[in-house]
Amino acid sequence: MQPFYEFSGAERAELAGLLGSVRANPYDDYPSFAAEVAALPAPAYFREVCARIRAERESGVSDVHALRDCPIDEVVPELGDEDPIGDKYARKRTFVGEAFLALFAGLCGTPLMAYGSRNNGDFFTDVVAISRYSGQQTGFSDSELVFHNDRTAHWARADFISLLGMRCPEEEVIYTTFVSGASLLAELAVQEQETLRKPYFHTPFDVYSRDTNTRQTVSEDHPILENGHSFRYVDTVTTVLPEAPPEAKDALISMKNALVRAGKQRHRLSRGDLLVFANQDGLHSRDRIEIVDRERARTRWLLKTYAFRDPEALERLEGRWLNGVPGLVAD
């Protein structure tokens, strides 16, 4: 997909200087970090970009956007594949990428979200390979990923996901693919939609979620289709309950067929690219098109955030925060 906006060299340098003035460490003191970012005087061109994105979301024009040549840290440390998150804590001493993601979320009116049981409650997480998850269906693997929502099985799911390219080896061809919920809905008959809106299905938690929270094994019974065109679904994993009526299995097959037929948007993230897309009003996948050097491909690192659709969506979960930090889900 074509970038929605490309920062000029001067804009990128100005933003990097502004974001680099934030002194708090988001992994040690997120509230202070968030307060510093919120107080930054965002340049007019960045406010304009975010306003246009908000307008396109609200009007239904698009739920996926790509920004190119965004400011990131001048020094991007090497992360091993045994404990890359620990390596990030030890080696990443500047937080321009994190500040950019936080400022973007604030200007778009989409408060950030995190999970108490995931990545130590960090609001800035990673798409990076961990050796013990090699070949498995998790963002911490080096494999392709089927179409899915992030945290499909969880009771609290982000509305938007942002991915910022920190290290993206140019020789390795890896795409993130997005299919909108509206496109999927158009491929389903009315009766199929009605069946998919009933709680005839469930979804197991991914392996990383099970490892970090032993209470997370399988979702509650849930519909696949919710709201206007929100889809709660992981291909090959979301399945029909044993006691569900026969039409539930037929509707699931129709869902799989719709996923093949629906139009898709693909983006190959480069260093400094920001890709942001709807997590519930669409599905996304990881496609490894051409891998020249498997070990080099494993060094790919995307900085990721989860976000609520708007402040009202954040407020609906008030009382579920860990240690009283808004957006940090106590799970």
Binding site for Fe cation: residue ranges? 148
- Cα angle value 92/156/192 (rounded, 5°): 125
From 77, 121, 118, select the one nearest 96 (Cα to Cα).
77
* Sequence-ordered list of residues with C-beta below 8 angstroms from that of 207, at least 6 positions apart, any chain: 133, 136, 137, 138
**Pair 305, 91: CB distance under 8 Å:** no
DSSP 278-293: ESSSEEEEEEEEE-S-
| Rounded Cα gap, residues 233 and 202, in angstroms | 9
Which residue ranges are tagged as binding site?
148
The phi and psi torsions of 24 (rounded to 5 degrees) equal: -70, 150
**Would you state the structure tokens that stand for residue 205, as one six-digit string?**
């938690």
The β-bridge partners of 222 are: 201
